[in-house]
Amino acid sequence: MTDILDRLETLIAERLQQGAAESSYVARQAARGRLKLAEKVGEEAVETVIAAIAQDDEALIGEAADLIFHLLILLGERGISLDQVRAELERREGQSGLDEKAGRRK
């Protein structure tokens, strides 16, 4: 059985490919353009922060799910896979966060 994020990534890819904005939320979001997709991820990130600070765990979980969902749409629109993100996380594994940040390209 596949992970929910893998299944969601597959579904998002299908909806992006079909491009049926009249019947698909994912396609409708993508049709608005990359800038609007990125803005939506930012909006969901802010809502996640607010929930973390001022709301209960249930609200935070819901906002985190929204954030991940919209990030997957943006990644899919860019042609970036979860496996690529996983590979980057694996590359960083075992490395101090401070060392990793210091080593990033400027």
The residue-averaged pLDDT of 5-19 equals 97
Give the range among 14-18, 73-77, 98-102 with minimum mean pLDDT.
Answer: 98-102
pLDDT per residue as tens digits for the range 55-80: 999 999 999 999 999 999 999 999 99
Which tokens belong to 60? 């935070």
* pLDDT value of position 8: 98
Average pLDDT over all residues of the chain: 94
Q: Alpha-carbon distance 72 to 49, whole Å?
A: 19
CATH H-level, domain 4-102: superfamily? MazG-like (1.10.287.1080)
Q: Enumerate the domain spans of the chain.
A: 4-102
pTM for this model (two decimals): 0.88
Of 65, 57, 73, 63, whose CA–CA distance to 24 is shortest? 73
